[in-house]
A = this chain, B = another copy of it.
Amino acid sequence: MGEFELIRNFFAAAPCAQGGEGVALGIGDDCALLAVPPGEQLAISTDTLVAGVHFADPCDPFLLGQRSLAVAVSDLAAMGATPVAFTLALTLPTVTAEWLQAYARGLNQMAQSCGVALVGGDTTRGPLSLTMTVFGRVPGGLALTRSGAQPGDLLCVGGDLGNAAGALPLVLGQRTADASIAEPLLAHYWSPQPQLGLGQALRGKATSAMDISDGLLADCGHIALASKVGIEVEQERLPLSQSLVDFLGQADAQVAALSGGDDYVLVFTLPSVELPLLLADGWPIHVIGQVVTGQGVKLLDADGQDITPQTRGYQHFRESP
């Protein structure tokens, strides 16, 4: 048996590969089989993370296991889907039992927290990269897309912005900070929590939604384009964590919130009539602007003046990868 076949057996034996609701056949055959309840649709998303591009190389394999799955599952949250399963295509330059075990521990922990089962994948030799494909189910016609925002809707986000971008200099070892500041920021970066409950609560209520991965302004641009509307973001209303403000100062914290990527917090548009009940149910919803007629994204200051950044620094944040 080759070493990569051993790895396949290793993942097949992992706790997260032992099936789950909706998994009719898991790892070990030519295909996995998923059962989709009548009236529901299957939501699918694929994300690739490349060492040295999307994460530092080397990095902690346990944290990478958590983050790689969370980033992918966040797309299910953005559609209002209930996670079911995922596949993992793992390309490794060398096989180290220690690395694999730590990676699998992180993966298992996030899989358990999100309720997804590993149902297949591939393990190959090559430069380190990971491709996750995630599957969720959503009632037919109720998936949250980017294309339904209407003028008059509120622009909302599901939590503090900019923490992951703020953490980046800590991740890369370019800066240090007291544990009280560094730990919450690093936790946001390495172990983002996909807003699955919020996404499901928004089904039939939000007119559009996505998760913030490219940065708030860029992602609002995606909604504006798909919905053929304009979006106004009010800078003073951006929710910022105390850790981020302590670490970067108010001005740079706002830049991180507007343009830093990797937040994996939901941004969505909501008819104002829907807001009170969602808030009463305890969902962490922050109104940060509104949908208007027109096109594109505007940033407004406290006086309603257009302060949309045009500088290269912002453009850079918006480019991908």
Chain A interface (Cβ within 8 Å of chain B)?
Answer: 1-2, 4-5, 24-25, 28-36, 38, 41-54, 75-76, 78-79, 81, 85, 87-89, 91, 119-122, 124-127, 129, 131, 133, 135-136, 138, 140, 143, 145-147, 209-211, 226, 318-321
Contact = CB atoms under 8 A, between A and B. Distances in A.
11 contacts: A29-B226, A31-B76, A32-B43, A34-B44, A44-B120, A46-B87, A48-B89, A48-B131, A50-B126, A52-B126, A124-B129
A120 to B, nearest CB: 6
B46 A41 contact: no
A145 B26 CA distance: 11
B44 A145 contact: no
B129 A91 contact: yes
A2 B261 CA distance: 15
Given A44-B119, A53-B125, A121-B46, A31 B319 contact: no
Contacts of A136: 31
Contacts of A125: 50, 53, 321
Given A53-B126, A126-B50, A129-B126, A226 B28 contact: yes
A42 B43 CA distance: 12
A240 to B, nearest CB: 25
Please give the count of copies of this chain that the complex contains: 2
Contact of A5 (B5, B35, B320): B320
Which 7 A-B pairs give the minimum distances between C-beta atoms?
A: A50-B126, A2-B319, A31-B43, A30-B78, A131-B131, A127-B127, A36-B36
A284 to B, nearest CB: 20
A188 B121 CA distance: 25
Contact of A129 (B42, B44, B52, B129): B129
